[in-house]
């Protein structure tokens, strides 16, 4: 049973890492109003339009996998902090509507309104998803009473505070996570534009400058976040399942699970290498390959650290015994076993995504191609 729980936490962490990388779509949407012309803006939107559904689908699969493997987390976080998740959902609905109707005939709102919707999704999607991850690191205000399921009048297991997730948005540590995710997404977006759009040397120079500026801000925020995380206390549990506060829990996990620490360092180095090579070589356009792979590795290791080594991955600051772990929040053995057999198909799905990505990325988008594109966004 413990092996299955650990396996599914790894898959959840992998999906989360892929989602953070794919948020470059949202990062790119926050850069639309930095465009020097309507053609440049349309090129950016259509380049991102080739990938936005991958981000959307990964978010849905991430939530579905959490529901199936760790249902108590799903009911506690998604059902309790519903204002936070409703804002996230609203921003992604606006994104989908914008891509579908932005340049369609009879558009009553106008292209600029839909561009503003995309900008909102870019900012809100990155920051609020970062806030949600911050709750998993620094804790949230909720209680869990499983016996309430027998209460015919109010069978509510998880009880959140009266603000239902809004308080998390105003927690400075959660916001630090959110803005770190935002500037990582903007950095990856600029590198993606260099790789996927061909509009001359001036455009490439502007995107290269944007990648370096946003990358510098990201590095500062990332260093601050790493310092906060690994100097913070966490919550762990013993053999009897009793949860208690543990000083420097995440730093201890990093040292105890050395292989995750190695993956984390490798991921960070890859991100820095992609940025550095883009800064040194003016004609280099594959920085997104290095930063993308590095993002996935670093976030994968970080999310694994939140659940492994007897750690509570959603601490309750109200009642430590209500904190969620991969042991007390998972599905039954039968459910996890069946899902594990189904997950054997995962490499096929990943291979399909890789093939589609490659097909849609070549050749780079040009103004001439956009003018003859009948399904342009």
As a whole number of angstroms, the distance between CA 4 and CA 68 comes to 13
Residue 153 has pLDDT above 80, yes or no: no
Instruction: Work out the percent of the chain whose per-residue pLDDT is above 70.
Output: 93
Token reading at 304: 């694994």
In a domain, 357, yes or no: yes
- Whether 377 maps to a domain, the answer reads no
* 70-84, 190-204, 258-272, 358-372, range with the lowest pLDDT: 358-372
Domain contains 376: no
Q: How many CA atoms lie within 13 A of 368 on its CB side?
A: 4
Residue 99 covered by a domain:
yes
Mean pLDDT on 47-51: 86
Question: What's the chain's average pLDDT?
Answer: 86
Q: How confident is the model at residue 149 (pLDDT cuts 50, 70, 90)?
A: low
Average pLDDT (93-115) is 84
Instruction: Give exposure, 1-36, as e/b (b: 16+ Cβ within 10 Å).
Output: eeebbeebbeebbbbbbbbbbbbbbbbbbbbbeebe
Q: pLDDT digits over 164-210, tens only? A: 888 889 999 999 999 999 999 999 999 999 888 887 778 888 889 99
pLDDT at 374: 57
Model pLDDT, residue 29: 94
Residue 348: domain span: 2-371
Instruction: For the full predicted model, state whether its pTM sits above 0.75.
Output: yes
Q: Give the Cα separation of 143 and 156 in Å (integer).
A: 11
Number of domains in the chain: 1
- Does 208 reside within a domain? yes
- Residue 70 domain flag: yes
Are the C-beta atoms of 140 and 169 separated by less than 8 Å? no
Say if residue 330's pLDDT is above 90: no
Quote the CA–CA distance of 208 and 204 in Å, as a whole number: 6
Q: What is the pLDDT of residue 333?
A: 85
284 dihedral zone (left: phi>0; alpha: psi -120 to 50; beta)? beta
Lowest mean pLDDT among 22-26, 109-113, 240-244, 345-349: 345-349
Q: How confident is the model at residue 158 (pLDDT cuts 50, 70, 90)?
A: confident
Residue 276 has pLDDT above 80, yes or no: yes
d(CA 361, CA 58): 19
d(CA 267, CA 289): 12
CA distances from 165 to 53, 84, 143, 178 (A): 27, 5, 13, 15
Domain-embedded: residue 231: yes
pLDDT of residue 318: 86
Residues with Cβ within 8 Å of residue 272, at least 6 apart in sequence: 219, 294
3-state secondary structure of 159: strand
What's the confidence (pLDDT) of residue 150? 56
137 part of a folded domain: yes
């Amino acid at each position: 049973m413990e092996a299955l729980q650990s396996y599914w936490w790894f898959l959840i962490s992998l999906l989360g890492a892929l989602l953070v990388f794919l948020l470059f779509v949202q990062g790119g949407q926050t850069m639309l109003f930095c465009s020097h012309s309507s053609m440049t803006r349309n090129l950016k939107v259509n380049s991102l339009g080739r990938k936005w559904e991958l981000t959307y689908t990964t978010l849905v699969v991430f939530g579905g996998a959490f529901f199936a493997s760790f249902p108590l987390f799903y009911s506690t976080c998604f059902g309790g902090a519903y204002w936070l998740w409703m804002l996230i959902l609203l921003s992604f609905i606006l994104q989908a509507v914008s891509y579908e109707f932005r340049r369609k005939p009879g558009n009553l709102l106008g292209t600029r309104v839909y561009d503003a919707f995309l900008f909102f999704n870019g900012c809100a999607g990155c920051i609020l998803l970062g806030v949600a991850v911050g709750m998993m690191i620094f804790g949230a205000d909720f209680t869990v009473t499983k016996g309430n399921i027998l209460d015919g009048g109010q069978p509510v297991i998880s009880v959140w505070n009266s603000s239902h997730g809004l308080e998390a948005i105003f927690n400075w540590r959660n916001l630090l996570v959110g803005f770190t995710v935002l500037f990582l997404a903007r950095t990856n977006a600029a590198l993606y534009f260099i790789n996927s759009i061909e509009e001359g040397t001036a455009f490439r120079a502007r995107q290269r400058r944007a990648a370096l500026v946003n990358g510098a801000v990201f590095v500062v925020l990332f260093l601050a976040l790493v310092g906060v995380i690994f100097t913070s206390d966490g919550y762990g549990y013993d053999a009897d399942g009793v949860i208690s506060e543990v000083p420097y829990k995440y730093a201890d996990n990093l040292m105890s699970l050395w292989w995750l620490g190695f993956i984390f360092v490798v991921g960070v180095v890859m991100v820095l290498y992609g940025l550095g090579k883009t800064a040194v070589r003016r004609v280099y356009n594959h920085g997104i390959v290095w930063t993308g792979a590095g993002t996935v590795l670093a976030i994968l290791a970080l999310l694994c650290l939140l659940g492994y080594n007897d750690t509570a991955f959603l601490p309750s600051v109200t009642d430590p015994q209500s904190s969620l772990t991969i042991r007390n929040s998972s599905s039954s053995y039968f459910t996890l076993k069946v899902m594990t057999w189904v997950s054997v198909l995962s490499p096929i799905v990943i291979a399909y995504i890789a093939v589609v990505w490659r097909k849609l990325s070549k050749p780079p988008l040009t103004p001439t191609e956009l003018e003859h594109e009948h399904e342009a966004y």
